[in-house]
Amino acid sequence: MPIKPLLISAYTTVNALGRGIDESAFKLRQGKGGLRPCDFADAALNTWIGRVEGLEEQPVTGELAAFDSRNNRLAQAGLTQDGFAEAVAAARTRLGPSRIGVFIGTSTSGILETEGAYRKRDPASGRLPNGISARYTHDIFVAAEFIRLYLGLKGPATGISTACSSSAKAFATAYRYMQAGLCDAAVVGGVDSLCLTTLYGFKSLDLTSSRPCRPWDAERDGLSLGEAASLALLTWPAADDHGTALLGYGESSDAYHMSAAHPQGTGAALAMQEALAKAGLDAAQVDYINLHGTATPSNDAAEDKAVVRVFGAATPCSSTKGWTGHTLGAAGATEAVIACLCIEHGFIPGTLNTRQPDPGLLANILLETREQPVNYVLSNSFGFGGSNCSLLFGRLG
Q: Give the binding site for other proteins (CB under 8 A).
A: 98, 107, 111, 114-115, 117-119, 121, 126-128, 132-135, 139-141, 144-145, 148, 154, 156-163, 169, 173, 175-177, 179-180, 182, 196-197, 200-205, 251-259, 266-267, 270, 383-387
Pairing of strands 185-192, 100-105: parallel
Q: Which CB atom, from 346 or from 385, has the smaller least distance to other proteins?
A: 385
Give Cβ neighbours of residue 265 (< 8 Å, ≥ 6 apart): 302, 303, 304, 305, 306, 307, 309
- 136-161: burial string, b at 16+ Cβ within 10 Å, e else: bbbbbbbbbbbbbebbebbbbbbbbb
Q: How far is the CB of 252 from other proteins (least distance, A)?
A: 6
**38 given a catalytic annotation:** no
Indicate if 292 belongs to the active site: yes
- Separation between Cα atoms, residue 352 and residue 366, nearest integer Å: 9
Give the nearest distance from C-beta 173 to other proteins in angstroms.
7
Q: Would you say 223 or 338 has its CB closer to other proteins?
A: 223
Q: Which of 213, 326, 340, 342 is catalytic?
A: 326
Question: Other CB atoms closer than 10 Å to residue 312's CB: what's the count?
Answer: 13
Least gap, CB of 248 to other proteins (angstroms) = 13
Crossing angle, helix 70-79 and helix 142-150, to 10 degrees? 40
Please give the Cα distance from 208 to 222 (Å, whole number): 5
Q: How far is the CB of 389 from other proteins (least distance, A)?
A: 8
The residue (of 32 and 121) whose beta carbon lies closer to other proteins is 121
Q: Which is nearer to other proteins, 175 or 347 (CB)?
A: 175
Q: Provide the minimum distance between the beta carbon of 129 and other proteins in the complex, in angstroms, as a whole number.
A: 10
Which one, 128 or 218, has the nearer CB to other proteins? 128
Query: How far is it, in rounded angstroms, from Cα 315 to Cα 26?
Result: 24
Chain centroid offset of residue 89 CA: 24
Minimum distance from residue 95 beta carbon to other proteins (Å):
15
- Of the residues 292, 340, 342, 389, only one is catalytic, namely 292
CA–CA dist 344, 126 (Å, integer): 54
Task: Please tell me the distance from the alpha carbon of residue 192 to that of residue 378, in angstroms, as a whole number.
Answer: 22
User: How big, in percent rounded to 5, are the helix, strand and coil portions of the chain?
Assistant: 35, 25, 40
Cβ closest to other proteins, residue 290 vs residue 387: 387
CB of 46 to other proteins, least distance (A): 14
What kind and span of H or E run contains 381?
strand 376-383
Nearer to other proteins, 47 or 266 (CB): 266
Q: Is 138 a catalytic residue?
A: no
Choose between 133 and 285: whose C-beta lies nearer to other proteins: 133
Report d(CA 218, CA 3) in Å as an integer. 39
Cβ at position 270, least distance to other proteins in Å: 6
Task: Tell which phi-psi region holds residue 335, choosing left (phi > 0), alpha (psi between -120 and 50) or beta.
Answer: alpha
Q: Which residue, among 53, 387, 328, 388, has the nearest Cα to 202 in the 3D structure? A: 328
Rg of the chain (C-alpha set): 20
* Residue among 38, 138, 164, 183 flagged as catalytic: 164
Residue 203, C-beta contacts closer than 8 angstroms, at least 6 positions apart: 45, 47
φ/ψ of residue 358, rounded to 5: -60, 120
The residues that are catalytic are 164, 292, 326
